Structure 1
C-alpha cells in the first residue's frame, strides 16, 4: 500500500488545510472522510456563504482553559496569511460587519474548491464515505481500522492527524471520535458542551418569550464574565441571535444572564428629560419610540405602561430602568449539539505541543480544529483556528 507521511482523519476545515499545506511542501497525505464530500460544515456555514476568517482575530476571542496556547499557532499562520492564501487562489474577502470576512462571491463552495484543487494538483489522496473504526499504536506507528461500504480494512501510518471535529450537527457526520481516541491514549479532556448555541426558556416565563417570537432587538447581553452587543432574537422556545450565541460559550447551566434592551440610550436620562418637559406622555409612549408595538405590549407584564411620566414614583421609575437595562434571564438549558455552531472543551492544550499540536506523550498523534479545547466566538474565528492549526500540523508531519 502507498506510504503516506500522515493520515488525516476528517476532511473539514482543519483537515483540508493540513493536507493542502502538506502537499505544497511535497509531503504525501491521505484524508479519510465519512461523508460523500469534503467540507460539509464549510458548505453550510454563514448560510452557505462561509465567514472564513475575522480581521480582528486575537486570543481574547477564544474560550479555553489556556487561551495563551494560541500564541504559537497564530504566530505561524496569521489572518493576513489566510487572506493571502485565499487571494492567491482567487478568493477575495468582503467585510460584512465586525471584521467578518466572506468570499466576494458569497459562495462557500468556492472556499472548498480551493482545497480540492490543491489536493488534486499535489497528488494527495482522499477516501470518502469511509469511517475510521479504531486506531492502535505499536512500535512502528499506527494501525487504523477503516470501513467503506461495510468492508473493513487495516491501514498503517507513521503519523495520524485527528481533524474530525466535534459533536455539533450530527446530520453532517459529527461524532466524538477525536475525543474517544484522545481518551484511549489517556490524554486529558476538558469537559465538552454545545457552544454558540440558542438558549431555552421553560416554566412560567416560556409563554412570554414565545409571544415575542420573531422579534429581533439590538441589545447588550452580559454576565459576570463578559458582554456582547449584537442582536438578540426571541423564539418560541427562548432566545437566539448573535449576542445570545456568543454568550452561550460563557454560560453554565443554572446561571443568570442579563440583557440591556436599550444599550445605546439611558432610560434614566430619557425619563428626566420627559419630566423637565412636563411629563405628560405615558410610559408606553416613551417605549414606543424605541421598541416595536408587540415588544412594548409584552413589557406591560412588568411595567406600568399607562402611567404618565410625571406621575411615576421613584420605585416605578427604577423598575422601568432596571427592566430595560438589566432584564434578568435564567435559561433552562440550550438547544443542544444539533443547533450549536461548535463544541467547547475538548483535548486539553496541556497535552499538546504548542508549536506542532502533536501529543506530548503519544509520538506522531496530532490534534487540530474543533477537537481541541479552543473555541472561538461567532464571526469567523473558528475557521481562523482551523486554518492555523491545519497549517501548523502540516509543517510537522
Structure 2
C-alpha cells in the first residue's frame, strides 16, 4: 500500500498515546509555547482515565512518594517527583475547576466523582492552545531518518507517514486490551535495542484452583479487613472472596509483589489478638462455644467456613494450649498459595517495562536515541493502588514536556 509522507516539522514533537501521561505532556508543552501532535489509537482520548476508580478517577494520592513504587531502580522516579509534586497535581486541577476530596488512605477524587471532568481539563486546554489530537490513528512503526524520525500510521483507512524531530511514547502498558492497550512502546524500545524489564500483570486479582477452590467459592461476596503480606510487602485493607479466588484492595496491592508459585499470608484479625479475646471472654462466659465468638468477629458465613478447621463446638473454658495455638495460627497466619492471577484484562497496571537504565531520570529521554522519550506505564515504574500511578503519569508527562 502506498504511503503519503507528511514532511511536517512544524510540530516540536509527536506524542503517541493520549492517556494521562500523553495528555499532560501535550498541555505542559503548550504552556511552554511548544506545538505538538498527539496520535491516539482509540476513538476518544483518556480511555483508562474514564474507567479508573469505577468512572470516578482517583487522580493522585496525598501520600505519594518514591516508596510506593516498584522498579528495578527504586531511586529513578525521585527526579520526576521532585519536578512535579502531589501539590503540583492538586494545584493544576484546582486551577481548572477540579476540587479534590480525600477518601481512604490519601486517595484523591474529583468532588464531582466524574472521571470525564479530568479528561475535559486536558481536551479544553489542548483546544485552547491549538495542540492537535488525532484519534482513530494507529501508529505502526517509528524509523530513524538522520536526526529525525518517520512515524508510520493508519488513519481513516489510509497509510501515511509523518516526520518529526522528537517522539514521545506514552502508549501505556498491556492491561485491558479492549481499551486499546498494546505492546507498542515495548516493541519500539526493543527495536531501538533498549532493555525491557520482564512484564507481568500488577494490581490484579489472584486465582485459587483445585481442591481449595470450593472453599473460596462458597464465600464469594464476603469482604473482610485483613493484613496481607509476604517477605516483600505488607498491606492492611479489605480482601474480597470471589468464586475464582481473592480480590479486594489488599490482594491487588500484594499481587504486585507476588510471584508465581509463592504463598501469601493473611492476618484475618490484624488489629486484635484472638488469644487475648478468648481469654477475656472465657473469664466471663466460659461455657460460650468458640464458634459463637468467631461469629461475632466475622459474618456468620465466614465463621461457618472457618469452623471445620477450628474446635468450633468446644466451649472457651475447655480449650487447651495447643488448641489455642492452632486457633491463633489459623486466624493470624492464614496461608494462601494462589494458582495464578486474572491476567492483563483484569489488571489495573503492568509491572516492568522499559528499563530505567535506558532513560535519563532527569528528562526521560532515551540515552541511545536522542529525541525519543518514554513516559507513563510503559516505563519500569509501577505504583500502588490508590492514585499513585496517575501521579507518575502526570509527573513523567510534565518532565518530558520541559525537555522537548
TM-score range, shorter-chain basis? over 0.9
After the TM superposition, which residues 25-44 of structure 1 pair with which residues of structure 2 at under 5 Å, given as runs? Answer: 25-44=32-51
1:316 aligns with 2:323: yes
Q: Which residue of 1 aligns with 2:311?
A: 304
1:228 aligns with 2:235: yes
Structure 2: how far apart are the matches of 1:276 and 1:332?
43
1:351 aligns with 2:358: yes
SS of residue paired to 2:104? coil
Structure 1: how far apart are the matches of 2:95 and 2:362?
25
Q: Which residue of 1 aligns with 2:334?
A: 327
- What is the deviation of 1:277? 3.1
How many residues get paired?
397
> Please, which runs of 5 or more residues in structure 1 have no aligned partner?
none
Q: Which residue of 1 aligns with 2:298?
A: 291
Q: Which residue of 1 aligns with 2:102?
A: 95
SS of residue paired to 2:326? helix
Q: Which residue of 1 aligns with 2:266?
A: 259
SS of residue paired to 2:198? strand
- What is the deviation of 1:371? 0.3
1:245 aligns with 2:285: no
SS of residue paired to 1:271? helix
Structure 2: how far apart are the matches of 1:217 and 1:117?
42
- What is the deviation of 1:139? 1.0
Q: Which residue of 1 aligns with 2:31?
A: 24
SS of residue paired to 1:301? helix
Compute the TM-score of the two structures, normalised by the length of structure 2. 0.97
Q: Which residue of 2 aligns with 1:48?
A: 55
Conserved in 1, the CA contact under 8 Å of 2:18 and 2:171? yes
RMSD: 0.8
SS of residue paired to 2:351? strand
Q: Mean alpha-carbon deviation: is it higher for 136-145 or for 381-390?
A: 136-145
SS of residue paired to 1:212? coil
Q: Which residue of 1 aligns with 2:3?
A: none
1:147 to 151, 154, 160: 154
Structure 2: how far apart are the matches of 1:383 and 1:274?
47
Q: Which residue of 1 aligns with 2:118?
A: 111
Q: Which residue of 2 aligns with 1:77?
A: 84
Compute the TM-score of the two structures, normalised by the length of structure 1. 0.99
Structure 2: how far apart are the matches of 1:226 and 1:116?
38
2:343 to 317, 336, 345: 336
After the TM superposition, which residues 7-18 of structure 1 pair with which residues of structure 2 at under 5 Å, given as runs? Answer: 7-18=14-25
1:185 aligns with 2:192: yes
1:209 aligns with 2:216: yes
